[in-house]
A and B are shown apart, each in its own frame.
Chain A
Amino acid sequence: MAEWYTKEGKDNDVVLSTKACFVRNIKGYNFMPRLDDKDCQSLIETIDKAIDKDMYMGGTASSFDKNMILRLTRLQLLGREASQMANPERKAFYYNEDASLSIAVGSGEHITVRAMAQGHNPNVIKEAALETLKLEEKLQVAFSDNYGFLTSNVRLAGTGFKLLYTVSLPAISKTEGGIEAMKQRVEQYEWTIYPFAERGDVSDSDVYIIASVNTLGVTEEEILRKGEMLIADVIKAERALRDEIAGNKKDQSRDIYGRSYGTLRYANMISRSEALQCLGWIRLFHDYDDSGEVEISWNKIDKLTMDILWEPEAPSRKSSQSVASQKYRAQGIKKILKGED
């Protein structure tokens, strides 16, 4: 079955993915920072028994080999940071056939249920909520009437729920003050926006994550309602600015669009930031190109963008900027583009 992020999603010219995430902890066990190894083992076994094996595969992280870790990173079940796989004997990961649903054990909280979908798809909340309910029926979760679902990170206590949209905003990024204005808009909804950064909080692309903040004083339904209003605003603003840039500077935009495609298609070495920059230009001008010379679907643009963003650190490569890395990346891009050329 195709992996979740290769499927065609709604509004995927702007929204790369929608993710819903619920965290829960089990009564009778300390939270992760104070859970000793013996109890952690017991916790993993308890949760393992509650997981529907007809639906989920996976298991304890210590049983995963390097290739499996690379695959899980590409599927966005693991973060790119090496720390994600620290203490693998204290962690477990389960995922369904297309990896759109996953359950992580021991990653910050006892249980993290995640549903992911390509493009703009609010259904992920229902899917994640349903899986969470199934686990709640089988396991006794830590809950308080005052604080809701109790978590080790007190900033997640309450609903333990986060909704995230990964968006690519080339037109807003290229407009002076665009991101600042967008930040203000997002804050009005009491949400947050931050760059999908390789290191620290400095943006190295036009990809951003828009995420809910509050887990208290708000219901899951309200988070969804606000999120949907906000993402509609973001999509509208980005498309309006693409119209303006492509309309006012059509020749320049078309030129950069063609060059960007050429670079991706024929380069033998390419850095992460250059590849993402080229993809940003392709995204910006894609719907305005009437020459018919460049053929690339939105699905391919998204797949390439996510492949590069979630590029795992291959074991043989020292750094993402090394010659080997750049060659490896360029080959991967060519391979995907070749199918349509």
Chain B
Amino acid sequence: MRCERCGKELTNRIIKINGVTYCENCARLMGYDRFLKDPTDLLGDPFSPLDQLASSLMQMSELDFGNSTLTCPRCGMTLREFETDGRVGCIECYNAFNENIVREMFKQQGNSVYQGRLPAFSDEARTVPGKTDKPKKAASEDSPKAVEKAEPEAKEPKAEAPVKKETKGGLTLDKLMKADLGMLSDEDLEKGIKLAAEAEEYKLASRLRDELKGRKAGEANG
């Protein structure tokens, strides 16, 4: 009997795929390696298919299928787009893809904690002693988790009832005081102003208002 592809006389094994007879070499060249496995191979190494399955599953977990459809509510950028070219579409993306961004920053820089100066327009830069002259203090940890801890210095919330008042979005005065204002959405800022005014936290309300005003000014100036 001869191989129907190369015409060589078949000596050792006869491999029949879809009714066509191949020699070992041609079967390999055609990409039919799986047909070349001897059934006894499995007996010799019964765990190898399981190993393959395990490694495939590990690769799948790296792809993060659970979040692949995550989309920024403001600009519509998807997590997949961010992962493809490493660029985000708007400020809100930093909230939407927070974990992935921190991971990316950490991978590149070995650090994800900001230690530079505050912007020139910032009220804090003018009023908080040392903040304009000195860089922010280094956070004690360099891990991505440290980002959560590296919030701006929070004022002690007053232990009065309004502090616990919560909006539908889960905003509390406590959270607002500790919040990174640059990361809040416009909607949260508006809610926060109302909440702060009701609680007579006028300093916080004015900070939130300034942040919102700054954003609107950017939009309106054009």
Which residues on A are within 8 Å of B, measured CB to CB? 26-31, 33-34, 39, 41-43, 45-46, 49, 133-134, 136-137, 139-150, 152-155, 157-159, 161, 190, 213-221
Select from chain A the residue with minimum beta-carbon distance to B81.
Answer: A33
Interface centre among B76, B87, B105, B152, by most chain A C-beta atoms within 10 angstroms, is B87
Once the chains bind, are B151 and A145 in contact (CB under 8 Å)?
yes
Choose from A137, A150, A153, A158 the contact partner of B94 (Cβ within 8 Å): A150
Once the chains bind, are B89 and A144 in contact (CB under 8 Å)?
no
A-chain residues with CB within 8 Å of residue B112 when the two chains form the complex? 147, 216-217
A-chain residues with CB within 8 Å of residue B8 when the two chains form the complex? none
Q: Could you pull out 14 A-B pairs where Cβ atoms are within 8 angstroms?
A: A28-B215, A31-B87, A33-B77, A45-B221, A46-B222, A140-B217, A144-B183, A146-B150, A146-B180, A154-B88, A154-B104, A159-B117, A213-B108, A215-B116
Q: Tell me the minimal C-beta distance from B141 to chain A in angstroms.
A: 11
Once the chains bind, are A216 and B114 in contact (CB under 8 Å)?
yes
Once the chains bind, are B94 and A217 in contact (CB under 8 Å)?
no
Once the chains bind, are B121 and A33 in contact (CB under 8 Å)?
no
Asked if B208 is at the interface (CB within 8 A of a chain A CB), the reply is no
Once the chains bind, are A159 and B183 in contact (CB under 8 Å)?
no
Q: Give CA–CA (A158, B117) in the complex, Å.
A: 9
Q: Tell me the minimal C-beta distance from A145 to chain B in angstroms.
A: 4
Interface centre among A43, A139, A143, by most chain B C-beta atoms within 10 angstroms, is A143
Choose from B116, B142, B182 the contact partner of A220 (Cβ within 8 Å): B116
B-chain residues with CB within 8 Å of residue A49 when the two chains form the complex? 221
Q: Give CA–CA (A213, B117) in the complex, Å.
A: 18
Choose from B74, B109, B120, B218 the contact partner of A26 (Cβ within 8 Å): B218
Kindly list 20 other residue pairs between chains A and B, CB separation below 8 angstroms, not including A145-B150, A146-B150: A27-B91, A28-B219, A31-B87, A33-B77, A42-B219, A42-B221, A45-B222, A46-B221, A139-B121, A139-B218, A145-B181, A146-B180, A147-B94, A147-B101, A149-B119, A154-B104, A154-B105, A159-B116, A219-B115, A220-B116
Select from chain A the residue with minimum beta-carbon distance to B120.
Answer: A136
Q: Give CA–CA (A257, B138) in the complex, Å.
A: 51
Asked if B21 is at the interface (CB within 8 A of a chain A CB), the reply is no
Known A141-B119, A155-B105, A220-B117; judge A33-B94 contact (CB<8 A): no
Once the chains bind, are B120 and A137 in contact (CB under 8 Å)?
yes
Choose from B87, B108, B114 the contact partner of A152 (Cβ within 8 Å): B87
Once the chains bind, are B109 and A217 in contact (CB under 8 Å)?
yes
Asked if B110 is at the interface (CB within 8 A of a chain A CB), the reply is yes
Once the chains bind, are A42 and B217 in contact (CB under 8 Å)?
no
Q: Tell me the minimal C-beta distance from B58 to chain A in angstroms.
A: 26
Select from chain A the residue with minimum beta-carbon distance to B124.
Answer: A145
Once the chains bind, are B86 and A28 in contact (CB under 8 Å)?
no
Q: Tell me the minimal C-beta distance from B99 to chain A in angstroms.
A: 12
B-chain residues with CB within 8 Å of residue A154 when the two chains form the complex? 86-88, 101, 104-105
B-chain residues with CB within 8 Å of residue A150 when the two chains form the complex? 91, 94, 182
Asked if B147 is at the interface (CB within 8 A of a chain A CB), the reply is yes
Once the chains bind, are A142 and B91 in contact (CB under 8 Å)?
yes
Select from chain A the residue with minimum beta-carbon distance to B148.
Answer: A146
Q: Tell me the minimal C-beta distance from A92 to chain B in angstroms.
A: 13
Once the chains bind, are A216 and B113 in contact (CB under 8 Å)?
yes
Asked if B145 is at the interface (CB within 8 A of a chain A CB), the reply is no
Q: Tell me the minimal C-beta distance from B43 to chain A in angstroms.
A: 50
Asked if B122 is at the interface (CB within 8 A of a chain A CB), the reply is yes
Once the chains bind, are A158 and B114 in contact (CB under 8 Å)?
yes
Once the chains bind, are A219 and B90 in contact (CB under 8 Å)?
no
Once the chains bind, are A146 and B87 in contact (CB under 8 Å)?
no
Known A159-B116, A219-B117; judge A213-B218 contact (CB<8 A): no
Once the chains bind, are A136 and B180 in contact (CB under 8 Å)?
no
Select from chain B the residue with minimum beta-carbon distance to A41.
Answer: B222
Once the chains bind, are B218 and A33 in contact (CB under 8 Å)?
no
A-chain residues with CB within 8 Å of residue B182 when the two chains form the complex? 142-145, 150
Asked if B157 is at the interface (CB within 8 A of a chain A CB), the reply is no
Q: Tell me the minimal C-beta distance from B121 to chain A in angstroms.
A: 6
Select from chain A the residue with minimum beta-carbon distance to B117.
Answer: A220
**CB-CB nearest 8 A-B residue pairs:** A42-B222, A28-B218, A217-B111, A34-B89, A140-B214, A144-B182, A148-B114, A136-B120
Select from chain B the residue with minimum beta-carbon distance to A30.
Answer: B90
B-chain residues with CB within 8 Å of residue A144 when the two chains form the complex? 91, 94, 114, 180, 182-183
Q: Give CA–CA (A155, B104) in the complex, Å.
A: 8
Asked if B73 is at the interface (CB within 8 A of a chain A CB), the reply is no
A-chain residues with CB within 8 Å of residue B221 when the two chains form the complex? 42, 45-46, 49
Once the chains bind, are A145 and B86 in contact (CB under 8 Å)?
no
Select from chain A the residue with minimum beta-carbon distance to B180.
Answer: A145
Q: Give CA–CA (A155, B110) in the complex, Å.
A: 11
Q: Give CA–CA (A153, B138) in the complex, Å.
A: 23
Once the chains bind, are A157 and B105 in contact (CB under 8 Å)?
yes
Asked if B118 is at the interface (CB within 8 A of a chain A CB), the reply is yes
Once the chains bind, are A33 and B89 in contact (CB under 8 Å)?
yes
Choose from B89, B116, B151, B216 the contact partner of A161 (Cβ within 8 Å): B116
A-chain residues with CB within 8 Å of residue B222 when the two chains form the complex? 39, 41-43, 45-46
Once the chains bind, are B218 and A145 in contact (CB under 8 Å)?
no
